[in-house]
Structure 1
Amino acid sequence: MPFSQLGLSSTLLNAIHTRGYVQATAIQQDVIPVVLSGRDVLATAQTGSGKTAAYCLPLLENYVRAQANKSTKPNTRVVQSLILVPTRELAVQVGDTLRSLGQNQSHPAKLAVLFGGISINPQMLHLRGGADIVVATPGRLLDLVSKNAIKLDQVTSLILDEADRMLALGFADELKQILALLPSSRQSCFFSATFAPNVADLAEGILRDPARINIPDTDESTPDITQRAIIVEATQRTQLLRHLFQTEKWSRVLVFVATKYTADLLSTKLRRAHISAEAFHGEQTQGKRSQVISDFKASRVKILVATDVAARGIDIYQLPVVVNFDLPRSSDDYTHRIGRTGRAGEAGLAVNFICADAANEAHFRLIEKRHGIKIAREQIEGFIPDEISLKQTQTITPTDPNGGIKGKRPNKKDKLRALQSQTIAQE
């Protein structure tokens, strides 16, 4: 469907054309008219489906319409639209989308993109005179509210993007505080690639008779991502990564690891092998993270070694390959990791390193089960594990039916209760 049929102004249509958008994606076709009508929305769609533009376009259209009804430009602006996101990277991405789509407006909206990891003072200065649209991470937004730098009592539209990720990162309390600052008479929209039970509970308590929009995976909408699984000894993964990068002539690779320490160590080893590589994780300053992403997008960095902070909110144009050096802890994280490739109609490749041990194999089998897929195991000449390790991976009977997936394993309290029960039984 062309964007011209979605009720958008000529100014926005011109901006859409400039960005190279041709046809609205499925979620954009369904969401834009509903948001323009003022109704609450609960939308789920896979990563890379275009949901950022799906809510940015109607927010900008509503701003254009509101400006058309005003005779003069206000000296002081009030926050009309608030977009909450879980990470700094997603905040920057959403801000870039809004700027790009709104650049041709005669009176462009004043946009504020707010996140932690940098000095709060420039953000406070930017908020002098108010803002029309705010994109923010919850913690930094509350910091600015506490300093009276921003008021949220006149917000008419609230967007929660990646709501499940915000809850997973522990933002539940911050969300409650922010919601208490907003007027009750507002439009609220939830967007996410997955719809976990805790998100459903949050949505039920906030949304009013929402339009439920679910874009199912179809042959047309499913990203074109080839998935591979390579069995390898844990100690040979670095050499295998180098081998694949060189022999398969990958132009850029996003490599996911489990810890910040591994990200730093692996990137250092790759640089010693004369491969341009950088780490990307939460302990870096915002300036460092921004520079690394800029270098990776420009191909000055060939391999980006990242923790899961990069699994959502980073949009790398034409990223050809994602490698799971360490397997993700959850099946949802697997979705978002490999979703960094195969975006916007491009083909992508996701490579999984399966360590030659029973636990790693069991974990990946559960990820396969939850995604309804089965990926053939490969062995690469020169990196074939010993026969004992291979036999273990081929004949496993995992005792943990959950395979160690995050959220399903016994936590410390469960283990303590089990130990106490055993002690009582023995006594």
Structure 2
Amino acid sequence: MEKRIIKAVDQHSEAAIDLLKKSVNINSGTMNFPGVIKVGELFKAELDQLGFQTELTNGEAYGRAGHLIAKRTGKKGPKFLLIGHLDTVFELDSPFQEYTMLDENIMKGPGVADMKGGDVIIILAMKALKDAGVLDDMSIEIIMTGDEELSGEPIELAKKDLIEGAKRADIALGFENGDNNPKTIVVARRGSSDWQLKVTGVPAHSSQVFTKDIGVGAIYETSRILNEFYLQLSKEKDLTFNPGFIIGGTDLNLNDDLTGGTAFGKDNVVAQQTIVHGDIRATSLEQLEKAHGIMKQIVANNYPNTSAELIFNDNGYPPLALTEGNTKLLKVYDTVSQDLGFGAVEAVNPRNAGAADISFTSGYVDMALDGLGLTGGGGDHTIEETGDLRTVATQAKITAVLMYRLINQK
């Protein structure tokens, strides 16, 4: 049966590459709703032919194009949730709009790796399972979101379908490209959220700085806080916290999207305000909560005549925590890869795997793996994004055989 599955992948691989090329040439930047929907319609047609019940949802409630959801129910084995996304970071104003072949195997194109290649691998694996006669045995839900690169808001609505799918599933498989290394797979992802620091001081002539009535001003207090963040938290394993921008002075104007702003100040005036915006990434909710507590304590220990407010945004991506189930699933995946002649696979360092949609399954599924998508490229999120087309068939074979084995073992 596994040989039949592998043969079926080979028979459909050329068509899968054509499908990938067609999808890459459709601009589906997150905010290009017609383009996201067009890619969804392209993949929906493929899944319709495989007997899935499909739907393109309306994302108006959270300000995005919506998601592609496909389902089928079998009577054997665990329930699978397969996760992809339709959108890319390349909007209509990007100079990067179509694919080119750098050689016979390496494709350069917008979203080839992140992650239209992963979407095509899902479809190719499903075709192979159907040709081999085992797809009807399986319970599978496929969700390809339309807002992975720029989540809709409120996030509880944007990710509702994904979370509900996770609640119905036993095993989640994500088809992001991981760290672009076919020898690694993702068993844990760091969550990502942002924070904002607002600091206020007493404005005065600079000649009065450090006095009892004036104190140090907002900029000195901000530098103290950021330095203490570094001193107390920088050695915490796999935890990162990055101040992305800082503005300070007498008067500030902050951009609505928190990407920057303008500041007015003079060298002979003690700064009245500063604003810092950054992100924080952790491997577990426990690690994140611990970091939040330490950061709040640091902020509360103000220099004289200053005050500070630290605001955490809870609408970020949760961490995909390392669990016993994920580790067991990795062992099965590794065995399949070696049995098929593709070599051993080990867990990727969480520092090399950013936040992704599979994180929303954490706590709901028994087992989860990510990074099953197209690999061997690089340059994600840049006009140099590439992917190795040979890994389309490789990853589809591992996926299909993995799923077949999982429905036939306890």
TM-score band, normalised by the shorter chain?
under 0.3
Greater strand share, 1 or 2?
2
Tell me the TM-score normalised to structure 2 length: 0.24
Greater helix share, 1 or 2?
1
Tell me the TM-score normalised to structure 1 length: 0.23
Highest relative contact order (Cα 8 Å, sep 6+), 1 or 2?
Answer: 2
